[in-house]
Amino acid sequence: MTVTQIETTWQGVTLSELGQAARNHGMQLEGLRYDVTPLGMHYLVIHFDIPAADEASWTVQVDGLVDRPLTLSVDDLRSRPAVTRPVTMECAGNGRALMPPRAESQPWLLEAVGNSEWTGTALSPILEEAGLGAEAVALVFTGADHGIQGDVEQDYQWGFSLADIVRDDVLLAYELNGAPLPPQHGYPVRLLVPGWYGMCCVKWLRRITAVAEPFEGFQMGSYQLRQDPDGPGEYVTRQAVRALMVPPGFTDFPGRNRFLDAGPCRLIGRAWSGWGHIDRVEVGADGGWADAELGPKPDSPSSWRAWSFDWQAAPGEHELAVRATDESGNTQPLDPPWNYGGFMNNAVQRVRVLVR
Ligand SMILES: Nc1nc2c(c(=O)[nH]1)N[C@H]1C(S)=C(S)[C@@H](COP(=O)(O)O)O[C@H]1N2
Ligand SMILES: [Mo]
């Protein structure tokens, strides 16, 4: 028994991409069953190496154009008011391998997502305490990891305009699902920016620097939507609307084709958007679309929303698809919105199933 493969001009995977895929795992799509992604199931992206870190001696510097530079220990951060927030994090490269030809990078299919409970303290009171100088226009966040990418030796960094980062919901997070951050997720402290793609949530955070010019670091230059490698680009920022389903039935190994017995089949999954709450989810079966039932509206749009759909599975081969729309009116495209780096591919998920 085989299921017809979804058509894509598959490029193959290079040895360096295989190395990335083996280091940086995704969330098994069965994980969409859980509202809070269990520890260890959340996807991972680590560009360089996980730095050695000790919570007892770790500090976060707040410096640059501030009136009162701060040196914060992890104890200092923990002694401030704590906030716990469920946040759907997604890698901007999610779907990259389904959008060839692609730049050589992490070859994700659809699994670079997770929705965890992050605990930390709000960033903005810390900035108030430091006192941003009148000339400051941007903040640069620097991680402790160091490496070379695109021939540039660098510390991992992301920068934001003040308008984008001075928000109530941005956290310096030190716990994940109630446990200290695991080393691979940024122990002992990371930045968390709800609603934006994961690349800006700097892990192993060491420094927050206020600067007088918009920051254009290497990573920010790389995470851009471009039609050719040297052409003009547009920054990747908020998460595009997307729904995913738990592939129904059972699978074969290693092909991961889907098989199912005829009869009623409840399809389930989650949907999210960086542009507001999810308003609608539709399920497509063999070309037609019908509304799915939405789960409770989460307290904040930064947490994904459950959906379900009762499908009558008739014998034969079928293509199932799912498509979400957010409250800002954004809907997922049927075809991938191609760009050179393979970012923001929020085309609808398609799952082929053979019903017996
Ligand atoms: N310091 C540092 N922060 C980082 C990264 C990194 O390599 N180094 N990867 C980024 C990317 S691309 C993503 S998608 C998220 C992934 O976070 P996670 O591994 O905790 O899921 O972390 C971001 N923060
Ligand atoms: Mo990412």
**pLDDT tens readout for residues 184-227:** 999 999 999 999 999 999 999 999 999 999 999 999 999 999 99
Domains and CATH numbers, the chain: 15-235 (3.90.420.10), 242-355 (2.60.40.650)
Q: Is 4's pLDDT higher than 60?
A: no
CA 16, 230, 99 angle in degrees (round to 5)?
A: 50
pLDDT of residue 283: 98
pLDDT of residue 286: 84
Residues with CB under 6 A from ligand 1: 42-47, 89, 91, 143, 145, 156, 185, 198-199, 201-204
Decide: 273 and 241 in contact? Cβ < 8 Å.
Answer: yes
Q: For residues 162 and 121, what is the distance between their CA atoms, to the nearest angstrom? A: 18
Ligand 1 center to 176 CA (angstroms): 14
How does residue 9 score in pLDDT terms, banded at 50, 70 and 90?
A: low
Q: How many CA atoms lie within 13 A of 179 on its CB side?
A: 7
> What mean pLDDT do residues 315-325 have?
97
Model confidence over 215-269: pLDDT tens digits? 999 999 999 999 998 888 999 999 999 999 999 999 999 999 999 999 999 999 9
Measure Cα distances from 208 to 65, 139, 140 in Å. 10, 6, 6
Ligand 1 center to 177 CA (angstroms): 17
Residue ID of nearest Cα to ligand 1 atom 10: 199
Closest atom of ligand 1 relative to the 144 alpha carbon: 1
pLDDT of residue 5: 46
Characterize the bridge pairing of strands 59-64 and 205-211: parallel
Q: Is 339's pLDDT higher than 60?
A: yes
Ligand 1 center to 147 CA (angstroms): 14
Measure Cα distances from 277 to 65, 196, 303, 329 in Å. 36, 14, 9, 10
Residue among 307, 275, 303, 294 at smallest CA distance from 116: 303
Ligand nearest to the CA of 141: 1
